[in-house]
Structure 1
Amino acid sequence: MMNQLVVLLNLIGLLVLDTLFLADVRITQDLPASLAPGSEVRVTVEVEKGDLSGFAKLQLDLPPGLSATAIETKGASFTYADGKAKFIWMSLPSSPSFRITYTLAAAADASGSATIAGRLSYIEDNERRTYEIPT
């Protein structure tokens, strides 16, 4: 019984520390439910970063048959290669939240269903942190 109480207190402590000391980051994408082969759609990514500043990289992992082209990067450099779309900021925008947009295109021979995974990597207190974008 005592061991269970100690484990419970440790878990609660970790949750509290995580909430207090990690940046309050949230990212959402307005991805369509489906995308016809040969078509494209504009996707908006909402980044809520609070007072986080400095270097950051947003990477989106696209499945085969999909590609991305940047529209609005909010000062990031954009690259797309080997199914990875990368937005890289030497210094994040100063506002607590911002939006970037890109065109998501499906190849004419694309088929099946897939998810787009992604993550924001950033530096906080001289340590690298990663926020996984919910899919």
Structure 2
Amino acid sequence: MLLSLTLLPLMASAVSGSWSGSGVGGVVSVGGQTLASRPLMPVIPPGATLLRITWRIKLLSAPPLGLRIKLCSQDKCILLDSLSGQKNVEGALTANGPFYFIYSVESQGQLLPPLNVVSNQLTISYR
């Protein structure tokens, strides 16, 4: 019994959960431009550690060659290698938002068709 009372504070601090949010995107019509999504503001407990992210991005047309997508928090960004996926990110990003999707196309000139981001969705798992 004494051991269980001793471990109680550790168990209470190890609460885990998840948060999901989504937003609309925007348009990039010329290579070299950067588009930042509207901020996604998670509501999570103070001191939580971000463990895993899941994302899904919908485009109006096929992604252009040279598309780079990053997910950024307050002080760091990570490269996302596809329009949807999951990634373990423990220690790579802070758990508190806001989070932004950053889109850029590494090319020159007008994009035909333009990059039109219909939506971006983010789910974060934390402990």
* TM-score of Structure 1 vs Structure 2, range by shorter chain: 0.3 to 0.5
Q: Between Structure 1 and Structure 2, which shows a larger proportion of helix residues?
A: 1
Q: Which has the higher contact order (CA 8 A, sep 6+)?
A: 2
Under a length normalisation based on structure 1, what TM-score does the superposition of the two structures give? Answer: 0.44
Under a length normalisation based on structure 2, what TM-score does the superposition of the two structures give? Answer: 0.46
